[in-house]
Structure formats: C-alpha cells, structure tokens
Amino acid sequence: MVTVRTREVPQLRLGSMRAETSAGHGSAAVRKVLEAELRAARARGAEEPVVVDVGGGSGVWAVPFAVEGCRVTVVEPNLNALATLERRAAEEGVSDRITVVADDSDALAKHVRSASADLVLAHSLLEVVDDPRRTVAAIVEAMAGGGAVSVLAANRYAAVLHRALAGRLAEARELLCEPDGVRSGDSETVLRRFDADALTALLEEAGLSVEHVRGDGVVSEVVSPEGVSVEATSWEKELAEFESVAAVTRPLRDIATRLHVLARKPS
C-alpha cells in the first residue's frame, strides 16, 4: 500500500470542482448531494470525515474531498490513474490526507478498517466488477453506522434509448432484451447496466436503506445550444434547472445517462 500522506483545509470545494461529467464524475447535482452528506457526517461528530473512494481513478472526487478536510482512501488498480491522483494531490497540498491503495475492490476489506467510513463512493464501479453483490457487501462492511454510500451507475434504459435515436435499432433491441443490459460481443468494458429498481434492490438486499434515487444527465449529454437564440450562460442555467427537476421526475429520471443512489447503513 502506498501512502500519499498538509495543511489545514477550509472552504467547501466540491461544488467548485471543474465540471467533469463523463461517467463516474457526475454533475453539479451529485456534488450537492455529497456536500450535504459531508455536513451530515460532521453533525454526527466526524470532524474529519472518513471517505473511501472505491475505483477512485485519478482523484476527481478524492482530491476535492481532501481539500474539504476529509481523510480519503482511494482503492484503484490502475497505476497510471494513481499517478495522476498523486500529482493532483500534491498540487493542492493535500497529499497527507489521501491514502492510495493500488488494488481492486475485492481487496477492500484488507485495506479499510471495518465500520470506519462515513462515506463510500462507488462511482462507475458496480457495472464493471465481477460480482456486484460481493462488492456491495464489502462496502457495507467498511461503512460506519449512519454512514452513506454514493452509487453512480450506467443506466440500461438510457443506453437503449441513445442507440435507438441514433438509428442503431438492432443494438437497442439487444440491450433492451438482455437482462444485464449489455450486448454479446460488445467491445465496451461495461459488464452490466442497471435500472432504478435493480440498483435499489441490490443495495437493500445488503441491508442498506435507500434514501434517494436520482437521474444524472437526463438530457445534458444529448442536447446543445446550437440554433437556440439565447446566450450560452442563460442556456446552461436553463439546462441545469431542467435537469434538477427531471432528475427526480419519473419517467425522465429512468432514462438518465446515469443513476445516482444514496443509501445509508443503519446506526
């Protein structure tokens, strides 16, 4: 295990993090949920909330959490991604707040103390692990009572809809009919996609209480302001306002690019 072990950390930075909205990074709405979760952890008495980022990649989430004053453990097998994470941490002066574990999610129990995490991130993780139930069980073991897990996962119905709208109807039908929402022989690394009910059931079966299920990226990744007679800043504001409502409105929530779930471990 490599320890990237600085200074006092002050203002909330998650909300000001650069918008990196590709899979796993999420939107401003996801960041707001996690900001609220940090406040809740501090209200429970965690002065330096313990965050575990499973499959944390290059530190898109880990570094801002460390800047906010958390103690963060990143479990990630990709050494190139970890090198980027270490550079980001050094640039922000928070290397001493981040522990890097060069391993995969199956090894979580070896590196993270049981019942120690106030918040666990599982972003773009459950769709690529060999056994999501085993991974969720390991996450639950790492969570402290009252702690939460943030899950961001690929939505199968969004994948179906995007392919259908692109005219790739055979692919769309295959994704729709396959239980795991993947195509046979698909070159993508995704092993499965989820719908809201399946993701909720997976977490509840592990003993967690699901507090919310939101869509992330209902239309934001398939629309553009081209041809719209409004200023770019105004259009972006309108898009954000639409997304905030659509994210919690069925059936729009259920066709978002990703699903974001916050679930809690009983105290």
Which token pair is 142?
């790492």
pLDDT at 229: 72
Which token pair is 240?
């954000």
**List of E strands, 70-192:** 71-75, 98-101, 117-123, 143-154
- pTM for the predicted model, two decimal places: 0.87
d(CA 149, CA 128): 17
Domains of the chain, each with CATH number or no CATH? 28-155+194-265 (3.40.50.150)
User: pLDDT tens digits, residue range 157-195?
Assistant: 999 999 999 999 999 999 999 989 997 666 568 999 999
pLDDT at 100: 94
User: pLDDT tens digits, residue range 69-94?
Assistant: 999 999 999 999 999 999 999 999 99
How long a stretch of residues is the chain?
Answer: 267
Percent of the chain surpassing pLDDT 90: 73
| Residue 244 scores a pLDDT above 60 | yes
d(CA 255, CA 258): 8
User: pLDDT tens digits, residue range 46-60?
Assistant: 999 999 999 999 999
pLDDT at 222: 82
CB 248 within 8 A of CB 63: no
208: DSSP letter: P
